Amino acid sequence: MAKRARGTTTRPGQRAPLQRTGTRPAPSTRPTPSTRTGSVTPTDASSSAPVKAPRPATLTAEEEARAAELEAAIMAEERAAEAGVRKNRDRNRRSPTTAPESARPGSLALQATDEYAYVARDVRRIGLVGGSLLMFLFGLWVVMQATGLGRI
């Protein structure tokens, strides 16, 4: 019996397999040597689909301007991301947090500081609940002694 995997079947750092579809249908028009003049000859004489001229090999001025705008926007985003990473890295270098200096983000020292915080909170809660129970029992004993219900 084959072993089955839960969740994703890819490992970290690997790309998921491509979802490929079946073969594509062949186009109804085929370019011929006369395409350079701007016309396309249909392969099937019965097809009455409108035929468009092929795009020119060079970019128009509008397309070049749009490409320049897109490239400038992408470069600005990259610079902003790099500046943010650099700022965080510099901040981390300058001001160490409560973690020890030798601690890395996934180290045991950081995990231990988190665990100690949880333990301290739990001990306070245990002390509060235990103390309140003892006070309640003492108050109950005082009431029983005063009323004479619990005399031994």
Residue of 129 and 10 predicted with greater confidence: 129
**For residues 55-70, average pLDDT:** 89
Q: 151 pLDDT band (50/70/90 cuts)?
A: low
Q: What is the mean pLDDT of the chain?
A: 78
With contact defined as beta carbons under 8 Å apart, do 29 and 51 qualify?
yes
Q: 29 pLDDT band (50/70/90 cuts)?
A: low
Predicted confidence at residue 88, as pLDDT, reads 83
Percentages of the chain per state (helix, strand, coil), in multiples of 5: 50, 5, 45
